[in-house]
Amino acid sequence: MTQSRGKVYLIGAGPGDPGLITVKAKECIQAADVVVYDYLASPFLLNYAGKDAEIIYVGKKGGDHTLTQDKINLLLVDKAREGKNVARLKGGDPFVFGRGGEEAQELLSYGIRYEVIPGVTSAVAAPAYAGIPVTHRDHTSFVSFITGHERPDKKESRMQWDIFAKSDATLVFLMGVKNLSNIVTKLMEHGKPSDTPVALVRWGTTTRQQTVTGTLTTIVDAVKKAELKSPAIIVVGHVVSLRDELAWFDQTPLFGKKIVITRARAQASGLVAELNRLGAQCIEIPTIKIVPPENKKALEAAIDHLDLYDWLVLTSVNGVKFFFDTLFKKGKDVRALGHLKFACIGPVTKERLADYGIISDILPETYQAESVVDAFSSLDMTGKKILLPRAKKARSILPEQLTLMGAMVDEVTAYETRLADEGKDLLVDMLKAGDIDAVTFTSSSTVTNFLTLLEGQNAPALLEGVLLASIGPITSDTIRAKGLKPDIEADAFTIDGLIEALLKHYENALSGVLKK
């Protein structure tokens, strides 16, 4: 129940890596009626919002505001007055150059209650992910956070350049990229040695992180050459030299690799999270949508007559989900399945089944229909009735082989897969710009649908130099049938196997470069 008057939570959303959110912030997003966010807050965090929460985007990069600060303030006030609890996500920490203080004052002036949830500031976290500790006993005794972009209407500058220049402090400038040449000039004019190390860290803590280093004399050219833009942190001081030794994030095995994920969004999160953890940047272009079947009658009829069956064979997590959804909708529960034996095609399907409290009787050695058939071959299946709820238009080998063993198989459609094409333009643009390193294919339909998205384009030319990663031999055959070549194939036909194959590929490529 919402209170008669709402409350605004000014939340530090952290610097970018969604893992750097605090527990309190996450709980607050989960409970909010309205979530207000801007471009520095990781959109991933919106996944924590409740399904009925209103999500409002209020800001773009430097100057190009979708809503002005005044309008943002009024929005917060209005929503709170409607009695809603508002989670206002702000990049990094709300009170470090985030205008969080101003928002709090504004709320106060309208009598709106608020709380502040501090966050991990980019001023510390971006350097940390670049291997730069902002303090270190051998190098500096203090650290300053400085705006690189004073309010344009300020009459007199508050910048104490002589103090910045004379101290051994680590200077961390935020919002300073456009002003970089002015900053370095001022520091040198006030006596800072021209060989003082400087680093810029863009999109720190995210998989897009980019770092450029130099000295006060060289950094402007280096940044120009690297075409590094905002948002970035500028670090000036001797601690920057520690990066040579301490850079760790850049050395994660897939750092900087841009990898396209083609599986359905609802199923992609595990793969995306693991690839992100390894440093890769995932571009989600779902090629498949999973929807309930148009005709549910067969599945419903089977569920009405579960007592007729001996076995339930599940070939995917979607099959598990849609089977149980329908079971529960019919007012039944797992007790209706007590007499059945179960077979699953792979470990993930088996785990999902276990979530419902059921242990699979059969788990094949490898995760393909052929292996399920092998697993059944030691059993006497004569006269056994098997229920096989799965995708419309699935491969026919499983029912055919089970029938040959004397079983009676009822194949019912539990869900349908459709082409998803929302990501088409992004995909084509990125491929044309040479901005993609690899594409992952987790089933034959991801291959077929992916190539449908490229219809009208010269697909082989666009995919030149792009690593095509396949989850297993059947998916690889589909890639070949389309006139392309799978560059790598997972050993285990699983997502973990696919990640393993990507890692192996890039590690080999790296050691090849190092040997040269």
Q: Is-contact 214 228, C-beta < 8 A?
A: no
Nearer to ligand SAH, 18 or 423 (CB): 18
Residues in Cβ contact with 55 at an 8 Å cutoff, skipping those fewer than 6 apart: 34, 35, 37, 46, 49
Rounded Cα distance between 417 and 291, Å, is 6
Do β-strands 170-174 and 86-90 pair in parallel, antiparallel, or remain unpaired?
A: unpaired
Task: Give contact residues for ligand SAH (rule: CB under 6 A).
Answer: 15-16, 40, 90-93, 96-98, 121-123, 126, 174-175, 201-206, 230-233
Contact 305, 330 (CB under 8 A): no
Structure tokens at 107: 């709320």
In the complex, least distance from residue 95 CB atom to ligand SAH, rounded to whole angstroms: 8
Query: CB-wise, 150 or 370, nearer to ligand SAH?
Result: 150
Look up residue 70 and give its amino acid. Answer: D
What is the SS3 string spanning 433-471?
CCCCCEEEECCHHHHHHHHHHCCCCCHHHHCCCCEEEEC
Angstrom distance (rounded) from CA 451 to CA 445: 10
Say whether the peptide bond before residue 197 is cis (omega within 30 degrees of 0): no
Query: C-beta of 232: minimal distance to ligand SAH in Å?
Result: 5
195 CB burial (10 A radius; 0-12, 13-18, 19+): exposed
What is d(CA 200, CA 126) in angstroms, rounded to the nearest whole number? 9
Q: Could you tell me which residues come within 8 angstroms of residue 447 by beta carbon, excluding any fewer than 6 positions away? A: 441, 470, 475, 478, 479, 482
CB-nearer residue toward ligand SAH: 121 or 315: 121
Nearer to ligand SAH, 103 or 489 (CB): 103
Q: Minimum CB separation from ligand SAH for residue 274, in Å?
A: 21
Name the percent of the chain in helix, strand, coil, to the closest 5.
Answer: 40, 20, 40
| SS3 call for 139 | coil
Question: Least Å distance between CB 41 and ligand SAH?
Answer: 9
Q: Which is nearer to ligand SAH, 121 or 267 (CB)?
A: 121
Q: Are 178 and 149 in contact (CB under 8 A)?
A: yes
- Whether the CB-CB separation of 13 and 41 falls below 8 Å is answered with yes
- For residue 49, what are the CA distances in angstroms to 35, 191, 261, 467? 7, 50, 23, 35
* DSSP H or E stretch at residue 122: helix 122-129
The nearer residue to ligand SAH, 201 or 369, going by C-beta atoms, is 201
Q: Which is nearer to ligand SAH, 91 or 472 (CB)?
A: 91
Q: Which residue do the tokens 């219809």 mark?
A: 455
Answer yes or no: are the C-beta atoms of 345 and 394 closer than 8 Å. no
Q: Which is nearer to ligand SAH, 97 or 450 (CB)?
A: 97
The yes-or-no answer on residue 410 being catalytic is: no
CB nearer to ligand SAH: give 175 or 343: 175
> Whole-angstrom Cα distance, residue 406 to residue 141?
80
Q: Which residue is nearest to ligand SAH (CB)?
A: 92
The full length of the chain comes to: 516
Residue in 33, 90, 175, 321 annotated catalytic: 175
| 311 closest CA partner among 362, 370, 367, 377 | 362
Active-site hit among 17, 38, 93, 437: 38
Tell me the closest approach of the beta carbon of residue 509 to ligand SAH, in angstroms.
28
Assigned token pair, 180:
């970089």
38 is catalytic: yes
Name the residue nearer to ligand SAH (CB basis): 34 or 201. 201
Give the nearest distance from C-beta 418 to ligand SAH in angstroms.
Answer: 36
Shortest spacing between CB 154 and ligand SAH, in angstroms: 17
Can you count the helices (H) and strands (E) in the chain?
19, 20
CB 179 to ligand SAH: min, Å: 10
297 part of the active site: no
Indicate which residues carry an active-site annotation.
38, 60, 175
